[in-house]
C-alpha cells in the first residue's frame, strides 16, 4: 500500500509561515505554493536581498528545481562558455558542466513566481512562541503579531530560530569560524579575456596552493568573471565578518604564483577604482569576508511546529558550492511531505520525518565542505596523485543522488510513522478482540465492543488461538514498521 493511499488527499487546511527572503526562503515558498499549501513569506529587509557573487548548482539541484517548478530553470540564467599550469583533475558535472548565475539576478527571477500579496517586507522577527495545537505566534520588531500553524526558519547563518530550536546555550546555535577568509572580485569579461586569454577566462577553474587557493567562474552569460581568492587564518578577531582590508590581506598570499592567477588578481586589485567607475556596483570593493559555518545540529525541529531550513539548519562554507542546492533539496522534501497531510495536528510528525531524512545528508555537506577548504589549501594530501583521487570523487555523492528516490524514502518513513501510531493505538484483550483509540482495524469501537461481547460467549481453544494469532500478527506488523523507520534512519 502506498503512502498516497494511506494519507489524506484533500487540500491542507493549515497555513505555513516562511521567515527569510533569501534563496532558501524563496524556493521554499515556491515549493509550498506548488503543493497548494497556504503560505506567507516574511523578510526583515525592505526588499529581497541575496549576498554573494556567483552561484553554481550541480546536476541534482537542477533536477530538484525542475521537480519543484520547471519555471525555476528559466530563472537560472547562466553562461556556458565552452581548461595550464599542471592540470591535476577535471571535474565536470554530468549533463550540465559548471553552469552558473549571479545570486542577486537569480533571486530576482525566482521571486516572479511568488504572488506579491503573500510577501511581507520589513518584518524582522523579535520572538516566536510555539503554542502547540494553537500554532506559532510570531512577534515582529515593528509591533506586528502573526500566527501560523507551522513556521519554517530560513533566516540564514545568524538565525534566531536556530537558537529557539537548539537553545541559546548550545555551541551549535552560534556560527563557528572555519579558519578561512576570502576576497572576491568581479571583472568585466573583456578585460579578463585580454589579460588571461579565453582558455582561462571562459572556463570555471581552480588554482591550488599552500594555504591559499583561487577560483574563477564566468557569470552573466560570459559578461563577467568572478574571481575568489581564499586564504587560511587560524582565528578571526574582528567583530564584523566582512571588513576593509589592505593589499597584503587580499593578494599577498598569491605572491609568486604562476600566471595567470599570479598576475590577474593583483592587476584586478590595482584597477578596482577604474572598474567601479565604469561598472558601478558590479565590481567588488576592497573587502575580505570570513567564512563561518555551524557545528552539527542535534535536530532541525523543536518537536512541534517550528523547523529550520537552508543555512539556518546547515550553513556551510562555499568550498563545494552546494549550500544553495541543499536548501532547495530541503524545500522539495518538506513541501512534498506537508502536502501529504490535511490537518495541522500532523505537522509535528512531518517535521520529525523531514529532520530524520534531511539532516544526515545536509550535515555531511557542512563537514565535507570544511574538509574541501583544507584539501584545496594542500593541507590534507601529499602529491598530485593523492590529490587527484580525492578531487575526482569529491562531488559524486552530492551530484548523483536521486531526488525521486529520496522523496520515496521520506514518504515511506512518514507512512510508517502513521502506521506505527495506528498499531500502537490498538489495545489487546484476553478474549482476542481489538479495541482502538482513534482507529480500529475492522470497524468502529462500538463494533469492537460488540465483537468483545460475542467473543465472551465463544468458549474453548478457538478463542485462545484467535487471540494468540491477533497478538502475533500485530507484533509482527509493529516490528516491521519500526524496522522500516530504523532502516531509513540508518540509510540517511
Q: Which of 336, 347, 344 is nearest to 302 (CA)?
A: 347
Q: Which of 86, 91, 85 is nearest to 260 (CA)?
A: 85
Q: Which of 403, 54, 24 is nearest to 216 (CA)?
A: 54
Q: Could you tell me which residues come within 8 angstroms of residue 260 by beta carbon, excluding any fewer than 6 positions away?
A: 195, 196, 197, 200
**108: DSSP letter:** H
Contact in structure between 306 and 151 (CB atoms under 8 Å): yes
Q: Specify the 3-state DSSP secondary structure of 105.
A: helix
pLDDT digits (tens, 9 = 90+) for 391-417: 877 888 888 888 888 999 899 889 888
Q: What percent of the chain has pLDDT over 70?
A: 69
Q: Which of 258, 392, 410, 395 is nearest to 334 (CA)?
A: 410
CB atoms within 10 A of CB 44: 18
CA distance 207 to 312: 30
CA distance 369 to 348: 30
CA distance 488 to 325: 22
Range list of H helices, 46-188: 59-68, 71-75, 103-110, 160-166
Q: Which of 211, 248, 214, 254 is nearest to 233 (CA)?
A: 211
pTM: 0.76
**Cell numbers linked to 445:** 469501537
The secondary structure element, H or E, covering residue 225 is strand 224-232
Contact in structure between 225 and 192 (CB atoms under 8 Å): yes
pLDDT at 425: 58
* CA-based max dimension of the chain: 98
Q: Which of 274, 420, 446 is nearest to 353 (CA)?
A: 420
Question: Mind listing the pLDDT tens digit of every residue in the chain (492 residues)?
Answer: 344 444 446 778 899 999 999 889 999 999 999 999 999 999 998 776 655 555 667 778 788 888 888 888 777 644 333 334 455 444 554 554 455 566 667 788 888 899 999 999 999 999 999 998 999 999 999 999 999 999 999 999 999 999 999 999 999 999 999 999 988 877 788 888 887 888 888 888 888 888 888 888 887 777 888 888 898 989 999 989 988 877 777 767 776 676 667 667 666 666 655 555 554 444 455 778 899 999 999 999 999 999 999 999 999 998 888 888 899 999 999 999 999 999 999 999 999 999 999 999 999 999 999 999 998 888 887 677 878 878 877 888 888 888 888 999 899 889 888 887 766 654 333 333 322 333 323 333 333 333 344 444 433 444 444 334 444 444 554 555 556 555 555 544
CA distance 316 to 176: 10
Give the CA angle between residues 122, 125, 128 to the nearest 5°. 145
Contact in structure between 101 and 219 (CB atoms under 8 Å): yes
CA distance 112 to 364: 32
Contact in structure between 319 and 181 (CB atoms under 8 Å): no
CA distance 367 to 375: 12
358 is catalytic: no
CA distance 29 to 26: 5
**Tally of CA atoms within 13 A in the half-sphere of 114 that contains its CB:** 29
CA distance 86 to 397: 26
**48: DSSP letter:** -
DSSP of 351-404, one letter per residue?
A: HHHHHHHHHHHHHHHHHHHHHHHHHHTTSS-SSHHHHHHHHHTSSHHHHS--HH
Contact in structure between 297 and 364 (CB atoms under 8 Å): no
Q: Which of 41, 73, 290 is nearest to 182 (CA)?
A: 290
Q: Which of 160, 184, 305, 359 is catalytic?
A: 184
Amino acid at each position: 500500500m502506498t503512502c498516497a493511499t494511506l494519507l489524506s488527499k484533500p487540500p491542507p487546511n493549515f497555513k505555513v509561515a516562511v521567515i527569510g527572503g533569501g534563496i532558501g526562503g524563496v524556493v521554499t515558498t515556491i515549493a509550498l505554493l506548488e503543493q497548494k499549501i497556504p503560505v506567507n513569506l516574511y523578510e526583515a529587509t525592505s526588499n529581497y536581498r541575496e549576498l554573494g557573487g556567483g552561484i553554481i548548482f550541480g546536476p541534482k539541484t537542477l533536477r530538484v528545481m525542475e521537480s519543484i517548478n520547471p519555471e525555476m530553470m528559466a530563472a537560472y540564467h547562466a553562461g556556458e562558455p565552452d581548461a595550464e599550469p599542471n592540470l591535476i583533475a577535471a571535474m565536470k558535472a554530468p549533463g550540465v558542466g559548471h553552469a552558473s548565475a549571479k545570486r542577486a539576478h537569480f533571486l530576482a527571477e525566482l521571486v516572479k513566481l511568488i504572488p506579491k500579496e503573500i510577501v511581507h517586507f520589513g518584518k524582522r522577527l523579535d520572538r516566536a512562541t510555539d503554542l502547540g495545537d494553537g500554532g506559532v505566534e510570531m512577534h515582529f520588531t515593528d509591533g506586528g503579531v502573526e500566527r501560523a500553524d507551522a513556521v519554517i526558519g530560513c533566516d540564514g547563518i545568524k538565525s534566531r530560530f536556530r537558537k529557539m530550536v537548539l537553545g541559546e546555550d548550545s555551541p551549535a546555535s552560534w556560527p563557528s569560524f572555519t579558519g578561512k577568509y576570502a576576497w572576491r572580485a568581479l571583472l568585466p569579461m573583456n578585460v579578463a579575456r585580454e589579460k588571461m586569454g579565453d582558455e582561462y577566462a571562459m572556463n570555471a577553474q581552480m588554482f591550488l596552493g599552500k594555504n591559499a587557493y583561487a577560483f574563477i567562474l564566468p557569470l552573466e552569460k560570459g559578461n563577467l568573471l568572478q574571481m575568489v581568492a581564499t586564504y587560511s587564518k587560524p582565528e578571526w578577531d574582528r567583530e564584523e565578518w566582512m571588513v576593509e582590508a589592505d593589499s597584503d590581506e587580499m593578494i599577498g598570499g598569491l605572491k609568486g604564483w604562476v600566471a595567470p592567477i599570479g598576475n590577474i588578481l593583483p592587476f584586478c586589485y590595482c584597477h578596482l577604482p577604474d572598474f567601479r567607475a565604469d561598472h558601478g556596483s558590479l565590481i567588488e570593493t576592497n573587502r575580505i569576508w570570513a567564512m563561518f559555518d555551524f557545528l552539527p545540529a542535534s535536530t532541525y525541529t523543536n518537536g512541534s511546529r517550528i523547523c529550520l531550513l537552508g543555512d539556518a539548519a546547515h550553513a556551510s562554507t562555499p568550498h563545494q558550492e552546494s549550500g544553495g542546492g541543499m536548501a532547495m533539496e530541503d524545500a522539495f522534501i518538506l513541501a512534498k511531505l506537508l502536502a501529504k497531510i490535511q490537518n495541522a495536528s500532523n505537522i509535528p510528525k512531518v517535521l520529525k520525518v523531514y529532520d530524520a531524512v534531511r539532516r544526515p545528508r545536509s550535515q555531511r555537506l557542512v563537514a565535507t565542505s570544511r574538509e574541501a577548504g583544507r584539501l584545496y589549501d594542500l593541507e590534507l594530501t601529499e602529491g598530485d596523485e593523492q590529490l587527484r583521487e580525492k578531487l575526482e570523487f569529491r562531488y559524486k555523492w552530492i551530484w548523483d543522488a536521486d531526488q525521486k528516490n529520496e522523496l520515496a524514502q521520506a514518504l515511506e518513513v512518514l507512512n510508517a510513522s502513521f502506521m506505527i501510531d495506528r498499531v500502537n493505538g490498538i489495545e489487546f484483550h484476553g478474549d482476542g478482540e481489538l479495541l482502538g483509540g482513534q482507529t480500529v482495524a475492522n470497524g468502529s469501537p462500538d463494533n469492537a465492543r460488540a465483537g468483545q461481547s460475542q467473543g465472551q460467549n465463544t468458549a474453548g481453544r478457538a478463542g485462545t488461538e484467535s487471540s494468540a494469532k491477533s497478538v502475533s500478527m500485530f507484533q509482527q506488523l509493529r516490528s516491521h514498521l519500526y524496522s522500516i523507520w530504523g532502516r531509513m534512519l540508518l540509510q540517511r
